[in-house]
Amino acid sequence: MSLLKIAADLFISQLGSRGTSLNLETVVGALQQLLPTQSGDLDLAALVGKFTGQGGDLAALATSWLGNSTNKSLDISQLIAALGQDKVDSFAGKVGVDTTTAASGLAGILPDLINRNSDGGALLGGLAGSAAKSILGKFF
């Protein structure tokens, strides 16, 4: 299963009863437009880069998701700062929920998605892991 489909499934589950009417393929398509992709699938290194590139608290959040310690939570305002208000609004409209619900759902899944695909401070997988190390190396 692709990372985009996993993310879409997690998003729908995160919304609980509000997510039961959502279509998986619609959410996949909306995520594909919201989040960075490479070769048609989610590019985790570029996604981490959206947070680390902001510096400060957002970089520290991303570092906690990559490491083996407890993940720091992501709030709606931090998510919007990293991804952009217009993009989050557009995502919400495409999946058929309000912006707050969409942002809350995304904030709930992204830390776990990154954490499950990383170990010891680096993303799993050859090129993705190398890219993450390169990105994070600039901040430490």
Under a CB-based contact definition with an 8 Å cutoff, are residues 140 and 133 in contact? Answer: no
> Strands, DSSP E only, in 89-131?
118-119, 122-123
Average pLDDT of the chain, as a whole number: 84
68 CB contacts (<8 Å, ≥6 apart)?
Answer: 119, 120, 121
Higher pLDDT, 70 or 18: 18
Asked whether the predicted pLDDT for residue 113 surpasses 50, the reply is yes
Under a CB-based contact definition with an 8 Å cutoff, are residues 62 and 55 in contact? Answer: no
130 CB contacts (<8 Å, ≥6 apart)?
Answer: none
pTM equals 0.81
| Domain range enclosing 45 | 3-137
- pLDDT at site 86: 98
- Rounded to the nearest 10 degrees, the angle between the axes of helix 76-83 and helix 44-52 is 110
N-term to C-term CA, the chain: 34
Residue identified by tokens 């430490």 is 140
125 band by pLDDT with thresholds 50, 70 and 90: low
How many angstroms separate the CA atoms of 27 and 124, rounded?
A: 24
CATH number of residue 47's parent domain:
1.10.10.690
Write the pLDDT tens digit of every residue in 4-63: 999 999 999 999 999 999 999 999 999 999 999 999 899 988 988 888 777 778 888 888
Share of the chain above pLDDT 70, in %: 85
> Strands, DSSP E only, in 48-101?
none
For the chain, the domain total comes to: 1
Exposure string for 72-93, b = 16+ CB within 10 A, e = fewer: eebebebbbbbbeeeebebbbe
